[in-house]
Amino acid sequence: MSIEVRIPTILRPYTKDQKNVEAAGATLADVITDLDSQYAGLGERLLENGALRRFINIYVNDEDVRFLGGLQAPIKDGDSITILPAVAGG
């Protein structure tokens, strides 16, 4: 089972500068666990106290995961996940 994950510039130091990596999992939470086991520290940049960080956007295919069940969003083979830091500030 293989899912392509798009890594934003700011997180590429964790993935040896790879823009696209592969991961496995049946839910977004599983995928993040798998990513963190391959690229130590990446999970912490996506999660805070076990929840998705507010200013990290994650999309499955073209849909914001917040509308797909968040960490419980179902993931299937061939899905494409995109991670983008929010462009935000005060």
Partner 1 sequence: MTLEISRAFVDAILEQSRAEYPDECCGVILGPIGSDKALRHKPMVNSAHSPTFYEFDPKDLLSLYREIDDSDEEIVVIYHSHTETEAYPSRTDISYAGEPGAHYVLVSTRKEIAPATEFRSYRIIDGAVTEEPVVILN
**Considering the complex, what minimum distance in angstroms separates the CB of residue 77 from partner 1?**
22
Q: Cα-flanking dihedrals φ and ψ of residue 61, to 5°?
A: 55, -115
Pick the closer one to partner 1 by CB: 1 or 4: 4
Minimum distance of partner 1 from residue 70's CB (angstroms): 13
Q: How far is the CB of 49 from partner 1 (least distance, A)?
A: 17
Exposure string (b/e) for 51-74, b if CB count within 10 Å is 16 or more? Answer: ebeeebbbbbeeeebeebeebebe
Which residues are near partner 1 by CB under 8 A? 8-10, 55, 57, 59, 62, 64, 66, 82, 84-90
* The residue to which tokens 């798009």 are assigned: 6
